[in-house]
């Protein structure tokens, strides 16, 4: 609920969070743009509840150009029989709703990236209000949180389940167990270099068992990633005891990978067109040429290779060819080190 040191927002829900069965409705945020004096921004929300059990919050559409999670949550809202649920699902398939309807990473209304807006502001811009509602009203109801991302329009990523790092070893173990249960081809720790403004970091501060994903990307729907996402979500719900076991693949037991700080990222240092040298999943080493930037409109420009700063595998690659200085063009994942006591990279 709202912290005493935060003002209350004006948002209201059209669903009853405590009512059993299936409900579909909206969280309404009063919104007064030029063409609608007393309108609202409608954030879609569904509830499926039955009996006793944990409350699991499922988020899709945190970025509006990432689709596999939104499709999976929407299908679950329509198709899952409430009688087969033990607990409560809070289903939110398009949380950055203006970005979702515009197929953009950030909201076209206020230009804000929802996943860098937490804990939000109940009296701020629309995106800040959405982050605040999740922080103050949704997360306090939950026991677990699934935040379903893809690479977005600018990035292609190896389909992965994502661990949000936390300092508490028991909480970290819960996160790892749930992420492993997802059964993705890759398991990766992504802490966004310590940025606390993400949905998963905020859910962890609220004590929730937290699972993230990255499902291919490129601004399209990947059939293999969608299949991984559908199965993985049900695997985690079964792991948490909300639905019966699915019969899908057992928990993935390979190495846990990590994006260990700035060295994991290769950035463009010039304006032009980026030529990558390696496919996703390729083993690479620090100092190795990673790609080069061309400038076809400047015949005097001589391409200079960018280089990796880390040993590992190519985890992410820029989907757009056109680059400017500072664009992330490649991401390298390496075997995780320094896991909490009792956890190891293999089979944790």
The yes-or-no verdict on residue 348 having pLDDT over 70 is no
The domain made up of 12-254 has a fold known as: Aminopeptidase (3.40.630)
Band (4; pLDDT cuts 50, 70, 90): low
Which secondary-structure segment (H or E) carries 320? none
Mean pLDDT of 166-184: 94
Q: How confident is the model at residue 246 (pLDDT cuts 50, 70, 90)?
A: confident
Question: For residues 39 and 269, what is the distance between their CA atoms, to the nearest angstrom?
Answer: 44
Residues 59, 270: Cα–Cα separation, whole Å = 36
The whole-number pLDDT of residue 343 equals 47
Q: Do strands 87-92 and 144-149 pair parallel, antiparallel, or not at all (unpaired)?
A: unpaired
Q: Which tokens belong to 299?
A: 């015949």
Q: Please report, for the chain, the start and end positions of each structural domain, with discontinuous segments joined by +.
A: 12-254, 264-335
Buried b (16+ CB within 10 A) or exposed e, 15-31: eeeeeeebbeebbbbeb
DSSP helix/strand/coil, 133: helix
| Percent of the chain surpassing pLDDT 70 | 94
pTM, rounded to two decimals: 0.94
Q: Which CATH architecture has domain 264-335?
A: Beta Barrel (2.40)
- Is 313's pLDDT higher than 50? yes
Task: Give 264-309 pLDDT, tens digit per residue.
Answer: 999 999 999 999 999 999 999 999 999 999 999 999 999 989 999 9
**Residue 180 pLDDT greater than 50, yes or no:** yes
Strands 160-163, 265-267: parallel, antiparallel or unpaired by DSSP?
unpaired
Question: Quick one: average pLDDT of 217-242?
Answer: 96
pLDDT at 276: 98
């Amino acid at each position: 609920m709202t912290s005493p040191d935060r003002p209350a927002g004006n948002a209201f829900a059209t669903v009853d969070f405590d009512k059993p069965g299936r409900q579909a409705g909206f969280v309404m945020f009063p919104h007064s743009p030029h063409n609608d004096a007393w309108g609202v921004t409608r954030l879609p929300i569904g509830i499926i509840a039955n009996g006793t059990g944990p409350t699991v919050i499922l988020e899709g559409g945190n970025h509006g150009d990432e689709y596999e999670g939104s499709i999976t949550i929407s299908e679950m809202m329509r198709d899952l029989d409430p009688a087969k649920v033990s607990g409560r699902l809070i289903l939110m398939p398009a949380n950055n709703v203006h970005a979702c309807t515009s197929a953009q990473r950030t909201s076209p209304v206020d230009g804000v990236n929802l996943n860098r807006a937490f804990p939000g502001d109940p009296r701020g811009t629309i995106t800040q209000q959405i982050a605040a509602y999740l922080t103050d009203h949704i997360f306090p109801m939950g026991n677990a949180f699934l935040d379903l991302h893809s690479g977005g329009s600018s990035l292609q990523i190896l389909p992965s389940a994502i661990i949000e790092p936390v300092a508490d070893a028991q909480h970290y173990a819960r996160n790892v167990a749930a992420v492993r249960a997802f059964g993705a081809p890759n398991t990766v720790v992504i802490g966004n270099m310590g940025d606390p403004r993400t949905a998963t970091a905020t859910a962890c501060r609220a004590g929730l068992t937290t699972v993230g994903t990255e499902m291919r990307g490129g601004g399209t729907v990947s059939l293999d990633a969608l299949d991984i996402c559908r199965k993985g979500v049900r695997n985690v719900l079964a792991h948490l005891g909300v639905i019966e076991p699915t019969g899908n693949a057992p928990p993935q037991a390979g190495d846990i990978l990590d994006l260990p700080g700035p060295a994991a990222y290769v950035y463009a240092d010039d304006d032009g067109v980026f030529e990558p040298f390696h496919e996703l999943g390729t083993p690479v080493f620090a100092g190795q040429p990673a790609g080069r930037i061309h400038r076809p409109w400047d015949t005097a420009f001589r391409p200079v290779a960018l280089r990796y700063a880390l040993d590992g595998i190519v985890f992410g690659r820029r989907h757009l060819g056109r680059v400017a200085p500072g664009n992330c063009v490649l991401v390298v994942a390496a075997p995780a080190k320094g896991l909490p006591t009792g956890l190891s990279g293999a089979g944790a």
